[in-house]
Amino acid sequence: MNARVSQAMRWARWFAVLVTVTVGSAAFALSFAALRQLAIMAHVPAGLAWLWPVIVDGTIIQATVSVLVLASSPQRRSFLWVLAAGVGVSITGNSVHAALVGHVLPWWAAAMIAAVAPVSLLVDTHGLAVLFRAAHQDTTTVVPEPLNPVTVEPEPEPVQVSETVAGQPEPVTEPEPVAAVRKPASRWDPDKVARAKALRAEGRSYAEIGRVLEVSPRTAARYANATHTTRTEAATPLHAVRPVQQVLPLATAAVGGA
C-alpha cells in the first residue's frame, strides 16, 4: 500500500512540474510579446524592443531566486520588494498594452518605460553583490575555542624519611603549604554570548553582530556558536594535606659482639 502511495505521489509531482513549465512558458511568451510591443509604442527601436521584456522578466527571476536562497537572511526583505516591483511593472505593462495598443504612449509613460532599464541595472547589480557577500559569510568556517580549559593541579612530592646514625627515629618533616592555584578567568562574557545568540537567531550576520557588540566578526561568530558560558569564579585557596607524623621503629644496632 505504501509503495503505491509513494509511486502515485511521484507521478503527481512530475505532472505538477510539467504543468508549471508549460504554463510558465506560455505566460512568458505572451508577456514578452506585449512588453515588446509596449516598448515600440514608447519610441524604442523595433530591433531593440525585445530587450525591454528581458530586463523586466530577468529582474523578476533574479529576485525570485534570491528570495529562495536567502530564506534565513535579513537581506531577503529587500529582494521581496524588488520582486513585488518587478511583478507590478510587468502586470502594468501588459494592461497598458492591451488598453492602448496601436496608439502612441504619452510622453510621461514613455519616460517611465525608458527609466526601467537603468533602474533594473542598478537593482540587479546590487542584488548580485548581496548574494556574493551572503555566500562568503556562509562558507566561512569558525572553530570555537574551548570554553573551560582544564587545569592540572600539581601533586605534593612524597616526603622521604631518613634514619639517624644512632638509630633514633626522626619525625617526618611537614611539607610547606601548597600555594593556592587560581583557575584562569573565563574571557567569555555571558551577556555578550547571550546577545550574540539572540542576534544570530534573528538572522543577523556575524559582521552585524560584531558591530553591535563592538568585537570582530570572528569573535562574534564564536559567541554565537558557543554551547555554554561560565562566569569568572573566584579562586579558592587549596590547603596542603598535612600528613600524619609517623615514627618508624628502627632496631637499635648492637654494639660489639658477644
pLDDT tens by residue, 171-196: 555 555 555 445 444 567 788 888 88
**pLDDT of 220 over the 50 cut:** yes
* Rounded Cα–Cα distance for residues 234 and 11 (Å): 67
Residue 82 maps to a domain: yes
Q: Are 110 and 220 found together in one domain? A: no
Quote the mean pLDDT of the chain.
Answer: 74
Q: What angle do CA 38, 41, 44 make, to 5 degrees?
A: 90
Sign, Cα dihedral of 98, 99, 105, 110: negative
Residue 173 maps to a domain: no
Residue 18 maps to a domain: yes
> pLDDT per residue over 146-171, tens digit each?
555 555 566 666 555 454 444 555 55
pTM, to two decimals: 0.47
Query: In which domain, by residue range, is 15 found?
Result: 2-139
Report the domain count for the chain.
Answer: 2
Long-range own/partner contacts, residues 16-24 (CB < 8 A, 24 or more apart): none
> pLDDT per residue over 243-252, tens digit each?
444 444 444 4
Q: Which of 120-124, 147-151, 218-222 tops mean pLDDT?
A: 120-124
Residue 97 maps to a domain: yes
Q: Are 194 and 135 found together in one domain? A: no
pLDDT of residue 164: 47
pLDDT of residue 145: 54
Q: Are 25 and 116 found together in one domain? A: yes
Q: Are 105 and 220 found together in one domain? A: no
> pLDDT per residue over 197-218, tens digit each?
888 888 888 888 888 888 888 8
Final residue belonging to a domain, choices 77, 104, 139 = 139
Crossing angle (nearest 10°) for helices 217-225 and 206-213:
100
Q: Are 16 and 118 found together in one domain? A: yes
Helical residues (DSSP H) of 104-239, grouped into ranges: 107-139, 190-201, 206-213, 217-225
pLDDT of residue 133: 83
Q: Are 101 and 198 found together in one domain? A: no
Residue 171 maps to a domain: no
pLDDT of residue 141: 46
Going by C-alpha positions, the residue among 63, 65, 53, 50 that lies closest to residue 28 is 53
pLDDT of residue 126: 86
Q: Are 123 and 197 found together in one domain? A: no
Residues 100/41, Cβ–Cβ less than 8 Å: yes
Q: Are 202 and 96 found together in one domain? A: no
Residue 247 maps to a domain: no
> pLDDT per residue over 18-76, tens digit each?
998 999 889 888 989 889 989 988 888 989 999 999 999 889 988 888 888 887 777 78
| Better-scored residue on pLDDT, 86 or 104 | 86
Q: Are 105 and 208 found together in one domain? A: no
Final residue belonging to a domain, choices 139, 159, 178 = 139
Residue 53 maps to a domain: yes
Long-range own/partner contacts, residues 68-76 (CB < 8 A, 24 or more apart): 69/131, 69/134, 70/130, 70/131, 70/134, 72/203, 73/134, 73/203, 73/205, 74/202, 74/203, 74/204, 74/205, 74/208, 75/130, 75/134
Position 139, amino acid: T
pLDDT confidence band for 236 (50 / 70 / 90): very low
Residue 24 maps to a domain: yes
Q: Are 39 and 130 found together in one domain? A: yes
User: All 3 cell numbers of residue 75?
Assistant: 537581506
Q: Are 45 and 123 found together in one domain? A: yes
